[in-house]
């Protein structure tokens, strides 16, 4: 273990982007708490695959404030310190406005905002005392291209990620005097298990054609951006939102 090894909590790290982020931190010598909502076997598999030692798993339904507090405190306690929080956990629930019942509409909004936005806000609130005790650190939020271009079939998802962007920038201002940087990464489509049905189906070629590179992002490319925002070299980029969408959506 490196003497400068950091304690890192990655939410939603049992698969996809979160797992790639966990591996990126571990590869550079950090100790990682792999969070999962309801996938203990997958989380344990990710933790076992990480380079180095001192890794662990924590569980919490991100929509449950008490569970989030317990998971953050447990991660910090078992790691011995907490230097980095990555808010990656999220849900993507289809609820097309013109073909969804009012009851399903409400359920989708409640679950999506509770997990994607309130969950990240609560994890941040609970992590800040630990980050301050460690002398500062970083919080990195994983947002989405959908926060800017919209998500017509999943409007709650787009709204939750837009809220995450605004929340991250507010916290960047509040936490800077305490040596804590807050940054955000906004991916487009990423080659993950969650996106497999779309990418392997009839819409796949159209999705890949959205980028002039003719492909979607790899999870490792998103992880690289997260890793940089969490680095000491990125402290003065606090408040930034980095697009990782292969120029598939350009914003001014």
Give every CB contact of residue 99 below 8 A, 6+ residues apart in sequence.
Answer: none
Q: According to the model, what pLDDT value does residue 196 have?
A: 83
Which sequence positions are flagged as catalytic?
A: 157
Instruction: Classify residue 46: in a domain, yes or no.
Output: yes
Q: According to the model, what pLDDT value does residue 4 have?
A: 76
Instruction: Classify residue 250: in a domain, yes or no.
Output: no
First to last CA, the chain: 43
Residue range 218-249, pLDDT digits in tens: 999 999 999 999 999 999 999 999 999 999 99
Where does residue 56 fall: left (phi above 0), alpha (psi -120 to 50 degrees), or beta otherwise? beta
Q: According to the model, what pLDDT value does residue 3 have?
A: 61
CA distance 36 to 244: 24
Instruction: Classify residue 249: in a domain, yes or no.
Output: no
Instruction: Classify residue 182: in a domain, yes or no.
Output: yes
User: What predicted TM-score, i.e. pTM, was given to this entire model?
Assistant: 0.96
Q: Which domain holds residue 112?
A: 7-244
Instruction: Classify residue 251: in a domain, yes or no.
Output: no
Average pLDDT, the chain: 96
Contact 118, 135 (CB under 8 A): no
Secondary structure, 3-state, 129-179:
HHHHHCCCEEEEEECCCHHHHCCCCCHHHHHHHHHHHHHHHHHHHHHHHHC
Q: Reply yes or no on whether the pLDDT at 1 is more than 60.
A: no
Q: According to the model, what pLDDT value does residue 20 have?
A: 98
Residue range 168-201, pLDDT digits in tens: 999 999 999 999 999 999 999 999 887 788 889 9
Q: Reply yes or no on whether the pLDDT at 8 is more than 80.
A: yes
Tell me the backbone φ, ψ of residue 153, rounded to 5 degrees.
-85, -15
Contact 27, 53 (CB under 8 A): no
Total number of domains in the chain: 1
């Amino acid at each position: 273990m490196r003497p400068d090894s950091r304690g890192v909590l990655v939410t939603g790290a049992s698969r996809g982007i979160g797992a790639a982020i966990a591996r990126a931190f571990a590869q550079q010598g950090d100790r990682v708490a792999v969070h999962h909502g309801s996938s203990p076997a997958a989380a344990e598999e990710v933790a076992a695959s990480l380079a180095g030692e001192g890794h662990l798993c924590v569980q919490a339904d991100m929509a449950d404030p008490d569970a989030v507090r317990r998971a953050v405190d447990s991660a910090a306690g078992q790691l011995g310190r907490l230097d980095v929080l990555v808010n990656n956990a999220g849900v993507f629930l289809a609820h097309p406005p013109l073909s969804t019942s009012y009851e399903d509409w409400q359920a989708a909004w409640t679950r999506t905002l509770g997990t994607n936005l309130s969950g990240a806000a609560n994890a941040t609130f609970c992590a800040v005392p630990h980050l301050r005790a460690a002398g500062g650190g970083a919080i990195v939020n994983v947002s989405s291209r959908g926060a800017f271009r919209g998500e017509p079939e999943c409007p709650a998802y787009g709204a939750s990620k837009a809220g995450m962007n605004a929340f991250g920038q507010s916290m960047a201002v509040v936490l800077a005097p305490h040596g804590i940087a807050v940054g955000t990464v906004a991916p487009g489509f990423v080659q993950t298990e969650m996106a497999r049905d779309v990418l392997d189906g009839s819409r796949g070629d159209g999705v890949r054609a959205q980028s002039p590179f003719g492909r979607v992002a790899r999870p490792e490319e998103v992880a690289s951006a997260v890793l940089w925002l969490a680095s000491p070299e990125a402290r003065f980029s606090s408040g930034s939102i980095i697009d990782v969408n292969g120029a598939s959506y350009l914003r001014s």
